[in-house]
Amino acid sequence: MPKSKRNKQVTLSKTKKKGRDHKEAMVNGIKDAAEKFGWVYVFSFENMRNQKFKEFREQLKSNSRFFLGSNKVMQVALGRSAADEIRPGLHKVSKLLRGDAGMCFTNLSKEEVERLFKEFEEYDFARTGTIATEKVDLKEGPLEQFTHEMEPFLRKQGMPVRLNKGVVELVSDFVVCEEGKPLSPEAARILRLMGIKMATFRLHLICRWSPDEFELYIDGPDESDVECSYVRGFCVLGRVIRSLVSVEGNSLPNLQILQSIKKITVLAVKTRHPRLHSNTTYFQRKEKERYLNSTDEGGFGVINSDFGGFWWPLLLLHIRFFYH
């Protein structure tokens, strides 16, 4: 047979993808830890720093075990519902694994764990996109903390500098960052050179589980809301279809109505699911929310659930029941 002359993409990376074996190892590790340890904590984190977290894990290595990874894999390991949970009540823990979250299996007392997590706080240099905690501005004049060799690099970062008798000098006042605004790549580099740390690595407890009790540390979703979110979404979409489509004469909905329902549902999914709108801007997400919550521009305020990715089979199902 003739060989294809199309350009083929060849990956030069030698890093191997974590496949099924890695996921199975995590699932087995979580199941073993659930049997070995008496307490399970779910925690969230902000401004994660791997090296600092490794040091924290080493402190508790003798009587605790941490798991960070895919939330879906960890949910499968614990059990997503009461029917498939590995120990009674762990499906409640599974439903709180969302976003930047991890699990800690431990035999330490409740007071000791709460104290360790509350006291853990590590300062580090902020990265691009981090919200500035203070305003940093440089006044006109010599910058003695920088050597003459750094003058070209500082100019590339947008600083109005020059060399004056071998000393780096700021020609005019320069604002590095504004409080409450995200840092640019240049601002993050300048702050690192100046030794200013604006990021704080923290851990926050979400819930605690033991065979005898379950405790929430923050306001989490109600269990009935979590379990019935898909059902509520299906019912809402059914009401929308019934309100838009006339059933007289067994007439099928026209293409315009179907496209409207699809548009509304896709916007609902992208607005409610953080991973689906990671590439959109803040203003685009706000526009989607405004469209969904308004009733005078074609939106439906009642559509505020995570419909998953099942809008099309659901639509066909409703059409089948209401038109046959």
Residue 209: enclosing H or E segment and its boundaries?
Answer: strand 199-209
Contact (Cβ atoms closer than 8 angstroms) between residue 253 and residue 245 = yes
- Give yes or no: residues 93 and 215 share one domain: yes
Tell the residue number behind the tokens 């066909």, with chain if given: 316
Residue 304 placed within a domain: no
Question: Domain range holding 173?
Answer: 130-196
- Give yes or no: residues 121 and 64 share one domain: yes
- Give yes or no: residues 26 and 65 share one domain: yes
Contact (Cβ atoms closer than 8 angstroms) between residue 46 and residue 131 = no
pLDDT at 320: 45
The answer to whether the pTM exceeds 0.85 is: no
* Number of residues that make up the chain: 324
Q: Is 234 helix (H, G, I), strand (E, B) or coil?
A: helix
Of the three residues 252, 272, 292, the one that is the final residue of a domain is 272
Let me know how many helices (H) and strands (E) the chain has, helices first. Answer: 12, 11
Query: In a structure prediction context, what are the per-residue pLDDT tens digits for the chain, which is 324 residues long?
Result: 677 777 777 778 888 878 889 999 999 999 999 999 999 999 999 999 999 999 999 999 999 999 999 999 999 999 998 898 999 999 999 999 999 999 999 999 999 999 999 999 999 999 999 999 999 999 999 998 899 999 999 999 999 999 988 899 999 999 999 999 999 999 999 999 999 999 999 999 999 999 989 999 876 444 433 333 444 444 445 555 555 554 444 444 555 555 555 555 555 544 444 444 444 444 455 555 554 555 444 444 434 434 444 444 555 544 444 444
CA dist 67 to 14, 56, 70, 308, Å? Answer: 26, 13, 10, 26
- Give yes or no: residues 145 and 170 share one domain: yes
- Give yes or no: residues 167 and 255 share one domain: no
Cβ neighbours around 47 below 10 Å, total = 17
- Give yes or no: residues 86 and 213 share one domain: yes
Residue 317 placed within a domain: no
Query: DSSP for 97-124?
Result: --SSEEEEEE-S-HHHHHHHHHH-EEEE
- Give yes or no: residues 57 and 92 share one domain: yes
Going by the DSSP 8-state scheme, the letter that residue 64 receives in this structure is E
